[in-house]
Structure 1
Amino acid sequence: MIYCGIDWAENTHDVALVDDSGQLLAKRHITDDAVGYKILLDLLGEYGDSEDNPIPVAIETSRGLLVAVLRTGTRKVFAINPMSAARYRDRHSVSRKKSDPGDALVLANILRTDMHAHRPLPQDSDLARAIAVLARAQQDATWNRQQIANQLRSLLREYYPSALEAFAKWANGLCRPEARELLKAAPTPARAARLTRTQLQAALKRAGRKRGIEEEADRLRDVFRAEWAHQPPLVEDALGKQMLALLIQLEAACTAADDLANAVEDEFPRHPDAEILVSFPGLGVQLGARVLAEIGDDRTRFADARGLKAYAGSSPITRASGKKSAITRRWVKNDRLNHAGYLWAFSALRGSPGAMTHYRRRRDAHGDWHAAAQRHLFNRMLGQLYHCLHHRKLFDESTAFPPSGQEMETAAA
């Protein structure tokens, strides 16, 4: 058995091959281009790499062109956490020396000794991987949009409280097109107070508003012309220019989030698992795509539902030492899936009577706090999702949350 370890970098990579006894068979220093990839594949082929018996590879990343080349065929690629690799390095040397060829050798020996303890990259379909790229990018764009909106809100509090009051009743506040259009038309409260009813209506129409334009323009005019505290004129103008610069970033972030959301809506329904995912209460296209992006469509990735729950961080973990024992939530988890699960459980409370009953039972009978009750609900629904995906079944409310005890008697009466 031959094992390969690759210490990757931006421009070059170090490769090491070892056998079952740990003897170094070969080492190479390759470039990060098509020529370097060919040298790597030729080296693996020289030592017996084939479609039927591929050489497993350990590397400290799960993405990039090098990983894409290695994942062709049936080869197992193991993405080793850099912290784990650092701990393994101490097994071979206590002097704390470090080198790139040495790190490649360490990675190869990780597979030689403990390959069973590490999980290879899942064999997801190309469509699932494409959806993962789009869903994660859309999630990042949404977070970035909210971060810029928070910065803008903090700036408006310093000199433009009338704008915050005017946009307070709108859902999504500063991220709405109407808010951005009005801020471009009037970057300072002094200019906002001089806006006429006609100008306000024109700004709302440019933002795409179709109904209630006259009433909304009157309300905005009253808010902008009310009595507010002001910064000195020169300072107010300077803050207005700073706000316009931040508004340009918010416009770009909103456009990126919307475009990526449209791309997700185009690709996600094409996946065979999409119908099962959106059948669950609380899971729509965007949130369902985020869940699919993190769990993939490789059914051999998780041995059972417990593995999926641990990966998502929804199941508790026990820490015991001597006479002390504590059950706490998991800190090491897939943060993206855990965040999607929080939104999923929160949305399911309105879409599923069984989910609401389960949540209330955790709050009232077990004394859980809100976050703990939602995490428990997410944990249960994640197990249901695992079952439905493996058996190709849609979500069924009566099966997922069957009535029991007094609830059954009430239902029968």
Structure 2
Amino acid sequence: PAVLDLLAPYPTPDRIRRLGHSRLATRLSRNAPRMGTRLADEITTALAEQNVVIVGTSAAETVIPKLAEQLSALQRQRSEVATEVEALVQAHPLHPVLTSMPGVGIRTEARIITETSGKQFATAGHLAAYAGLAPVTRRSGSSIRGEHRSRRGNKKLKRVLYLSAFAALQDPLSREYYERKRAQGKSYNQALVALARRRCDVLFAMLRDGTTYNAGTPTAA
């Protein structure tokens, strides 16, 4: 937002250069208080290193402000939609259930609701298979080659459960389980997938019974 706010009225290197470092830092800091000065330093350094006028600069002077305004409008619209979606999710009956689990925020909750709504899962294994978190056994003729990560399933749900497991590493019980898998020789990704799979079992019970998460075990809401 800070850079878009700058480019709308100052779309060329020459205009930004004439603005000066002090005023440049002040303008950038309006929308980026923590990094305004650093951005000004980087821009000023880049301008000092430029010794060639690039062909098309005059054309860019016309195009860039319009693009900056369009992007700013899209960002505002995205923020408005996000606010509306957040309100809808918070009003959903499953909101207190899902957000009780460590690592589950509004966006994660929205994705879980979206991807599981209207679907019935007989067991936790069925939910895990749907999410692509259940390992599959590879067979070749009469031989079995062991279990491998599934490449099937709902990729959107799988990704959000994986990222949720990563966020849950701040939770002591989740971290303990993750570290135990690492100690067993599993890689970083394998340990996270294992944690996501374990959390999927708990999530299934929470969705089935309408119960909240409590120390690794769903409890009645």
Place the TM-score, normalised by the shorter chain, in its bin: 0.7 to 0.9
Q: Which amino acid aligns with 2:6?
A: L
Distance apart, 1:326 and its partner CA: 3.6
Distance apart, 1:241 and its partner CA: 5.3
Instruction: Judging by fraction of residues, say which structure has more helix.
Output: 2
- Between the aligned partners of 2:43 and 2:130, the Cα distance in structure 1 is 51
The residue matched to 2:121 in structure 1 has which SS?
Answer: coil
- Between the aligned partners of 1:249 and 1:328, the Cα distance in structure 2 is 46
Q: 244, 250, 264: which is aligned to 2:85?
A: 264
Q: 3, 14, 18: which is aligned to 1:190?
A: 14
Q: Which residue of 2 aligns with 1:346?
A: 166
Pairs aligned (count): 214
- Between the aligned partners of 1:225 and 1:236, the Cα distance in structure 2 is 18
The residue matched to 2:55 in structure 1 has which SS?
Answer: helix
Q: Is the 8 A contact 1:193 1:224 kept in 2?
A: no
Where structure 1 has 5 or more consecutive residues not aligned to the other structure, the ranges are: 1-176, 401-413
Q: 93, 100, 108: which is aligned to 1:287?
A: 108
Q: Which residue of 2 aligns with 1:201?
A: 26
Q: Deviations over 1:225-253 (max 9, x none)?
A: 32323552434444565655654553344
Distance apart, 1:281 and its partner CA: 0.7
- The verdict on how the C-alpha distance between 1:239 and 1:358 changes in structure 2, with shifts beyond 3 A counting, is farther
Q: 177, 197, 203: which is aligned to 1:379?
A: 197
Q: Is the 8 A contact 2:8 2:69 kept in 1?
A: no
Where structure 2 has 5 or more consecutive residues not aligned to the other structure, the ranges are: none
Q: Deviations over 1:271-328 (max 9, x none)?
A: 1111010001111112111111111165xx1111100000001111112122242422
Distance apart, 1:370 and its partner CA: 2.1
- Between the aligned partners of 1:185 and 1:291, the Cα distance in structure 2 is 42
Q: Which residue of 1 aligns with 2:136?
A: 317
Distance apart, 1:180 and its partner CA: 1.7
Q: Is the 8 A contact 1:319 1:327 kept in 2?
A: yes
Q: Is the 8 A contact 1:264 1:286 kept in 2?
A: no
Q: Which amino acid aligns with 2:9?
A: A
The residue matched to 2:193 in structure 1 has which SS?
Answer: helix
The residue matched to 2:138 in structure 1 has which SS?
Answer: strand
State the TM-score, normalized to the length of structure 2. Answer: 0.82
Instruction: Point out the structure with max Rg over C-alpha.
Output: 1
Distance apart, 1:342 and its partner CA: 2.1
Q: Output the aligned Cα RMSD.
A: 2.7
| Structure with more contact order per residue of length (Cα contacts < 8 Å, sep ≥ 6) | 2
State the TM-score, normalized to the length of structure 1. Answer: 0.47
- Between the aligned partners of 1:189 and 1:363, the Cα distance in structure 2 is 51
The residue correspondences of 1:242-261 to structure 2 (distance < 5 A) are 243-244=64-65, 246-248=67-69, 250-261=71-82
Q: Is the 8 A contact 2:24 2:40 kept in 1?
A: no
Q: Which residue of 2 aligns with 1:234?
A: 55
Q: Is the 8 A contact 2:131 2:153 kept in 1?
A: yes
Distance apart, 1:200 and its partner CA: 4.6
Percent same amino acid among aligned pairs? 29
Instruction: Tell whether 2:186 aligns with 1:368.
Output: yes
- Between the aligned partners of 1:360 and 1:246, the Cα distance in structure 2 is 47
- Between the aligned partners of 2:153 and 2:4, the Cα distance in structure 1 is 37
- Between the aligned partners of 2:132 and 2:109, the Cα distance in structure 1 is 18
